[in-house]
Amino acid sequence: GAGVSQSPSNKVTEKGKDVELRCDPISGHTALYWYRQRLGQGLEFLIYFQGNSAPDKSGLPSDRFSAERTGESVSTLTIQRTQQEDSAVYLCASSLRPDRGIFLNTEAFFGQGTRLTVV
Amino acid sequence: DAKTTQPPSMDCAEGRAANLPCNHSTISGNEYVYWYRQIHSQGPQYIIHGLKNNETNEMASLIITEDRKSSTLILPHATLRDTAVYYCIVRVPPSSNTGKLIFGQGTTLQVKP
């Protein structure tokens, strides 16, 4: 596709249920990021993938949060036993990795996000 | 990643240039300055980035001071659609170890008719 695609666009779930959020990055982008944005707040970094590996998971808020990426493409963010404080927009972004020190075109492109509401 | 400091809000008249400042006094030699903006209810949008030279593209210009401790994003002819939160970020480009963008609170730019 032309851009980063996220699904679903909206998700309402009951407290205690598990949810899976999907991100389809731009084809060929090896770097993939997940962010969370609570209402009226800034973006919080969650996790960074380079290929299928996640060298930086420092932003995952608890062990209820996990993410995986397969085929250097699709990524899934899973939240187990959801809590009301998990309500937020979850944003995914992708970018190219610099090629031999040439740092052009390394900007991140964001999807429109998944709005998660835990009731 | 180095931290950035931006004014929380700014106003600009439609058609005039909007100059958004950013301080990044602890920037290191291999960190780039990136600017993104987030229009209400949308994902962040890349605007421009640079290392030490001034940069210009179809959206904006980026002026980086010689000591690289601050920069200014210039929207030459602001329109109402430029109303957004503008984020200044310093980071190393993505690699096998890192690459995350650290978003601060940004500057809320209000373009007024």
For residue A99 the two structure tokens come to 């090629």
**Do A114 and A11 contact (CB within 8 A), yes or no?**
yes
pLDDT tens for chain A, 119 residues: list them. Answer: 579 999 999 999 999 999 999 999 999 888 899 999 999 888 999 999 989 999 889 999 999 999 999 999 999 999 999 999 999 999 999 988 755 455 555 788 999 999 999 99
Amino acid (one-letter) located at A102: I
Residue A112 with chain B: CB contacts under 8 Å: 42-43
Distance CA A117, CA A9 (A): 11
User: Which chain A residue's Cα is nearest to B107?
Assistant: A42
Min Cα separation A56/chain B (Å): 6
Closest CA to B46 of A50, A21, A87, A4: A4
With an 8 Å Cβ cutoff, are B93 and A48 in contact? no
Q: Does B59 touch chain A (CB under 8 A)?
A: no
Q: What is the pLDDT of residues A46-76, one digit of tens each?
A: 999 989 999 889 999 999 999 999 999 999 9
Q: What is the pLDDT of residues B52-66, one digit of tens each?
A: 989 999 999 999 999
Q: Which of A56, A72, A110, A112 to mutate to test the interface with B (most CBs of B within 10 A)?
A: A110
Q: Could you give phi then psi for residue B60, rounded to 5 degrees?
A: -160, 175
Residues in chain B, total: 113
For residue A35 the two structure tokens come to 């962010």
With an 8 Å Cβ cutoff, are A98 and B95 in contact? yes
Amino acid (one-letter) located at A107: E
Look-up of token digits 């032309």 = A2
With an 8 Å Cβ cutoff, are B95 and A103 in contact? no
Q: Who's near A40: CB < 8 A, 6+ residues apart?
A: none
CA distances in angstroms from B7 to A17, B21, B72, listed in the order given:
40, 7, 12
